[in-house]
Amino acid sequence: MPAVVALSPPAAEDWQAQARAARMTTAELLARVGLTEADFPAGVIADPQFPVSVPPHFLAQIRKGDPADPLLLQVLARGEEAWPQPGRLTDPLEEADYRAAPGLLRKYRSRALLIASGACAVHCRYCFRRHYDYGSTMLTRSGEAEALALIAGDAAIDEVILSGGDPLSLSDARLAALIDAIAAIGHVTTLRIHSRTLVAIPDRVTPALIDLLSGTRLNVVIVIHSNHAGEISGDVAAAMHRLRGAGVTLLNQSVLLAGVNDAADTLAAHSRRLFAAGVLPYYLHLTDPVDGAAHFDVDEPRARAIEMELRAMLPGYLVPRLVREVPGKTSKTPLWALPEG
């Protein structure tokens, strides 16, 4: 892995202002990237139910004047989102069946997942939780005790996962309280944080966050959610190096998205950029059948073909595991384990 680089940290409070500046209409987004509706086929662009949210840093990585830019396609609301999509679901992973307490999902034996926040810095149009009822099902201060008591009462749980929404939408003070409470449970050894904020607002890696993550007794793993090399800017790479300097293990998971990263050379460039930033590729997910995101699907035969090409291009440690999440399974399902359709 590349050497850790010492870099000066950003202002602590700046990331919250960037998160507040992210909300915009579709028309505003188009104007900021130098496009109009006329640059797209008729009916493709629409104002959505799921609001548009694009932080300034992510916005700055989008190529201006390019309607096919792979970063733009991930955040631009399209008319297809509202079209009838037979067979698509609002809860494609049947997560309602795994709620063990308010804000606590228990899918796997040794891991417990906390829906720590309902907020996200960036709104990804392919999101499988785009219909999730965060209002009644995320972790609240009052429900937290029940969720933590369940984890404390089950010695089989050695890893707690913070998910959302995006757990790094929480303030450093709130995160610190939550992590301290988890660290007080003796049989929990590992804290895993899933976050897309880090590629959308790299300034989220504040000195306070670094202190927090380096000070806990837990092994800390952060899985960043990045889909394209264009997201790994110099600022994002610098933030990753600060996290590595704090002893955090960094992994990435991507979603295979039509028009964004469904080509072996695109994925290979992404893996190399991640590695240079100190992040190992971990999972490449097929899309889940969520209502409103069918236009991002890549079918299984094509995904397998892309993976084969990728294996020929990269060392094995840079090839993410191609998986599909199948409701009811005790782990993610590698595509090689599914019958070829």
Cα dist from 313 to 36, 134, 149, 187, 266, whole Å? 38, 41, 47, 41, 11
Residue 120 interacting with ligand SF4 (CB under 6 A):
yes
Residues contacting 339, CB < 8 A, separation 6+: none
Residue 124 interacting with ligand SF4 (CB under 6 A):
yes
With CA atoms as reference, report the closest residue to 294 among 46, 19, 83, 32. Answer: 83
Which of residues 52, 54, 112, 127 is near ligand SF4 by CB under 6 A? 127
Among the listed ranges 36-44, 82-90, 115-123, 294-302, the one in contact with ligand SF4 (CB under 6 A) is 115-123
Distance of closest approach, residue 140 Cβ to ligand SF4, in angstroms: 18
Cα dist from 149 to 100, 112, 170, 173, whole Å? 11, 12, 21, 21
Distance of closest approach, residue 62 Cβ to ligand SF4, in angstroms: 16
Residue 206 or 253: the one with the smaller Cβ distance to ligand SF4 is: 253
Among the listed ranges 90-98, 116-124, 231-239, 276-284, the one in contact with ligand SF4 (CB under 6 A) is 116-124
Distance of closest approach, residue 54 Cβ to ligand SF4, in angstroms: 11
The number of residues in the chain equals: 341
Distance of closest approach, residue 29 Cβ to ligand SF4, in angstroms: 15
Residue 285 interacting with ligand SF4 (CB under 6 A):
no
Q: How far apart are CA 228 and CA 304, in angstroms?
A: 19
Residues contacting 212, CB < 8 A, separation 6+: 172, 175, 176, 179
Which of residues 57, 123, 242, 270 is near ligand SF4 by CB under 6 A? 123
Q: How far apart are CA 188 and CA 186, in angstroms?
A: 6
Residue 62 or 185: the one with the smaller Cβ distance to ligand SF4 is: 62
Residue 192 interacting with ligand SF4 (CB under 6 A):
no
Which of residues 129, 192, 244, 285 is near ligand SF4 by CB under 6 A? 129
Task: Please report which residue ranges of the chain form alpha helices under DSSP H.
Answer: 14-20, 26-32, 56-60, 70-75, 134-137, 141-152, 172-183, 197-200, 207-215, 234-245, 264-276, 300-313
Residue 182 interacting with ligand SF4 (CB under 6 A):
no
Among the listed ranges 3-11, 121-129, 141-149, 181-189, the one in contact with ligand SF4 (CB under 6 A) is 121-129
Distance of closest approach, residue 336 Cβ to ligand SF4, in angstroms: 25
Residue 81 interacting with ligand SF4 (CB under 6 A):
no
Residue 196 interacting with ligand SF4 (CB under 6 A):
yes
Residue 21 or 150: the one with the smaller Cβ distance to ligand SF4 is: 21
Scan residues 201-240 and list those touching ligand SF4 (CB under 6 A).
225
3-state secondary structure of 134: helix
Beta strand 280-285 with 159-164 is unpaired
Residue 93 interacting with ligand SF4 (CB under 6 A):
no
Residue 256 interacting with ligand SF4 (CB under 6 A):
no
Residue 19 interacting with ligand SF4 (CB under 6 A):
no
Give the sign of the dihedral formed by CA 319, CA 320, CA 322, CA 328: positive
DSSP 286: P
DSSP 49: S
Among the listed ranges 59-67, 82-90, 122-130, 273-281, the one in contact with ligand SF4 (CB under 6 A) is 122-130
Spell out the long-range contacts of 32-38 with Cβ–Cβ below 8 A and sequence spacing 24 or more: 32/59, 33/59, 33/62, 33/63, 33/64, 33/65, 33/66, 33/69, 33/72, 34/64, 34/65, 35/65, 35/67
Residue 188 or 283: the one with the smaller Cβ distance to ligand SF4 is: 283
Q: How far apart are CA 123 and CA 50, in angstroms?
A: 8
Interacting residue ranges for ligand SF4, rule: CB under 6 A: 120, 122-124, 127, 129, 164-166, 196, 225
